[in-house]
Amino acid sequence: MASIKVALLGFGTVGEGIYRILNERKEEIKREMGCTIDIVSILVRDKEKERLATPGTKITDDIQEILLNPDIDLIFEAIVGEEPAYTFLSDAIEKGFHIITANKTMFAKHGPALLKHAEFRGVYVGYEATTAGGIPIIRTVTNLLPTDRVLRIRGILNGTSNFILTKMREEGIPFKAALHEAQTLGYAEADPTDDISGKDAFRKLMILSALAFGTQPNWQDVSVVGIDKITIEDVADASKAKLRYRHVADILIDEKGTLHGSVGPVLIGTHHSLYGVEGVDNAIIVETDYLGALTLVGPGAGMYPTASAMVGDFLQMIGKREKVLVNS
């Protein structure tokens, strides 16, 4: 039976999730796809750190051990930040590896260049997990695009912000206490700046813009406001008026073809499809010429939702490119 050999860059929340799913679903993958998947190497920063046992898989802190291994077909990237991730993936594409990434910080800025490079080299780039975790928004928009035209995409793209706004309203607690709860439950990063400032939602919006409209607006033209200035009084006043604060990232194209993007808190009425989206969930409304409005709601982060989006990319790619990939 054919064997596909992969490497993981990063073995934190997401990397471990990929490892677990590929092992837990080994038999189903074998049966459905007609191949086995071997996780050959895992790249980490600190080899000495105690982590899940990975028998038969080499743990390394040297990217060259992966990039120079001719047996490896594909790289899953789940490390943090713009660099060295961008350099690792550029080098991987240049060497002919297929890549799948969850790294939104890197992909918002460098995604268009990576996609162009990959097209030139004839390799696959999967990035479903960069935007809204487990919600298949990249696949949905990609599938719509050949026949339809996206007019607007907006939604709740940061689960931590939505969790904080939900807690402030439901429990009447101030912003700082709700943020602390998000951190205690592991929803917010140790440094939650990007979540609460709107930067994280902005990056995902730019990834969606590049996909849906083939381009991004100038970043400095997009107003980005976080939730950190919303007070408990603001939330209570909104509730009295049967309104809810939602942190909404919004991009639309006008009749002249100009993009208009914004990220910030918005007051939402009871009939709006974002009104009932609570806690850490994400939600995205896609408006197109033919379909009208489609709303997708689901988990925007977490080990299994994010890793399952990446494995989904992988299985889709194997389905399409089995002949190119396999080493018999």
- The catalytic site residues sit at 204
Measured distance CA(323)–CA(4) in Å, rounded: 11
**Residues 59 and 42 sit within 8 Å (Cβ to Cβ):** yes
Establish if 302 lies at the interface with ligand NAP (CB under 6 A).
yes
Q: How far is the CB of 9 from ligand NAP (least distance, A)?
A: 6
Of 189 and 234, nearer to ligand NAP (C-beta) is: 189
Q: How far is the CB of 70 from ligand NAP (least distance, A)?
A: 21
Q: For residue 292, what are the β-bridge partners?
A: 288
Measured distance CA(169)–CA(172) in Å, rounded: 5
Name the strand (E) or helix (H) holding 182. helix 175-184
Establish if 11 lies at the interface with ligand NAP (CB under 6 A).
yes
Task: Kindly tell me the sign of the dihedral angle through the C-alpha atoms of 41, 44, 47, 51.
Answer: negative
Measured distance CA(195)–CA(328) in Å, rounded: 45
Q: How far is the CB of 295 from ligand NAP (least distance, A)?
A: 20
Name the strand (E) or helix (H) holding 132. none
Of 202 and 245, nearer to ligand NAP (C-beta) is: 202
The dihedral region occupied by 133, where left means phi > 0, alpha psi between -120 and 50, and beta the remainder, is left
Of 133 and 312, nearer to ligand NAP (C-beta) is: 133
Q: How far is the CB of 248 from ligand NAP (least distance, A)?
A: 19
Establish if 10 lies at the interface with ligand NAP (CB under 6 A).
yes
Establish if 46 lies at the interface with ligand NAP (CB under 6 A).
yes
Establish if 12 lies at the interface with ligand NAP (CB under 6 A).
yes
Contact string 107-146 vs ligand NAP (x = CB under 6 A): ----------------------x---x-------------
Q: How far is the CB of 85 from ligand NAP (least distance, A)?
A: 7
Show the CA angle centred on residue 81, arms to residues 122 and 209, nearest 5°.
60
Q: How far is the CB of 45 from ligand NAP (least distance, A)?
A: 4
Whether the upstream peptide bond of residue 84 has omega within 30° of 0, thus cis, is: yes
When binding is defined by CB under 6 A, the residue of 251, 301, 310, 317 that contacts ligand NAP is: 301
Measured distance CA(85)–CA(128) in Å, rounded: 17
Residue 1 CB neighbours (<10 A): 8
Of 189 and 287, nearer to ligand NAP (C-beta) is: 189
**Residues 66 and 43 sit within 8 Å (Cβ to Cβ):** yes
Measured distance CA(246)–CA(5) in Å, rounded: 43
Of 26 and 45, nearer to ligand NAP (C-beta) is: 45
82-101 residues in contact with ligand NAP (CB under 6 A) are: 84
Establish if 208 lies at the interface with ligand NAP (CB under 6 A).
no
When binding is defined by CB under 6 A, the residue of 6, 14, 238, 284 that contacts ligand NAP is: 14
Question: Which spans of this chain sit near ligand NAP (rule: CB under 6 A)?
Answer: 10-15, 43-46, 49, 78-80, 84, 102-104, 129, 133, 301-302, 306
